[in-house]
Amino acid sequence: LSVPVICIDGPTASGKGTLAVEVAHDLGYHYLDSGALYRVTGLAMRRAGLEADPAHETQIADLARTLPLRFDAGKAMLAGEDVTDEIRSEAAGMDASRVSALPAVRSALKDLQISFRKLPGLVADGRDMGTVIFPDAPLKVFLTASAAQRAERRHKQLISKGIQTTLDSLRSDLEARDLRDSSRSVAPLKPAEDARRLDNSNLSIEQSVDQVLNWWQQAQ
């Protein structure tokens, strides 16, 4: 009997994380934030003085395969250091996007992602959960929202943390990241053939959660 898994993929700042955490909480399932693995890999790369460049691909993949990483009560701990805030910056998002385009890095992180699939079930969010990591998942959701909405949400989030940015620069950052994520040759951001599309531009978090839980009931 295979362990149930719900995949939630979509572009930057589409609200995947919030939705996935809520759904996992409601179902009592485990949660995988696959983007955090790429973010931590980007950070480990910086600290090792490497660049997200094919010339350093093998070294970065080795770092990814042996990350001393633990998730503890929603905190990302790298070798015992709390890096939760550091990996959330826009710069860390860009680094994550760059390392994630390196095929050896993606394959180095594959087993780690699959190891999160444990009973009673898993909700996984990212870019390729439904297409590459869990292709047999009974429910795949492709979550989108307009670029304007996504930039505005990210802006509010950062302002509430006291981080100054402008809407324009956020929007151009997220569009650049989406373009790289969608156009890379390995595991590009795209909906799985059997994914359900959900545009949450005009939905509350509760409405999105209800939709996913409904689909999950139908998928049983």
* Rounded to 5°, angle at Cα 130 from 129 and 135: 110
What is d(CA 140, CA 72) in angstroms, rounded to the nearest whole number? Answer: 26
Residue with the shortest CB distance to ligand C5P: 35
Q: Per the annotation, does 126 bind a ligand?
A: no
Is 173 a binding residue for ligand C5P by CB under 6 A? The answer is no
Shortest Cβ 218–ligand C5P spacing (Å): 25
Is 140 a binding residue for ligand C5P by CB under 6 A? The answer is no
Shortest Cβ 119–ligand C5P spacing (Å): 22
- Which one of the spans 43-51, 70-78, 90-98, 156-164 is the region binding ligand C5P (CB under 6 A)? 90-98
Is 177 a binding residue for ligand C5P by CB under 6 A? The answer is yes
* Rounded to 5°, angle at Cα 22 from 166 and 105: 65
Q: Per the annotation, does 93 bind a ligand?
A: no
Is 134 a binding residue for ligand C5P by CB under 6 A? The answer is no
Using CB under 6 A as the binding criterion, the count of chain residues that bind ligand C5P stands at 14
Q: Which of 96, 122, 143, 145 binds ligand C5P (CB under 6 A)?
A: 96
For 161, list phi and psi in degrees, rounded to 5: -95, 5
CB contact at 8 A, 9 and 129? yes
Rule CB under 6 A: which of 9-48 touch ligand C5P? 12, 34-35, 38-39
Cis peptide before 54 (omega within 30 of 0): no
Closer to ligand C5P at the Cβ: 205 or 218? 205
- Which one of the spans 76-84, 124-132, 137-145, 211-219 is the region binding ligand C5P (CB under 6 A)? 124-132
Is 150 a binding residue for ligand C5P by CB under 6 A? The answer is no
Q: Per the annotation, does 13 bind a ligand?
A: yes
Q: Which of 8, 15, 61, 127 binds ligand C5P (CB under 6 A)?
A: 127
Binding region for ligand C5P (CB under 6 A): 12, 34-35, 38-39, 93, 96-97, 100, 126-128, 177, 181
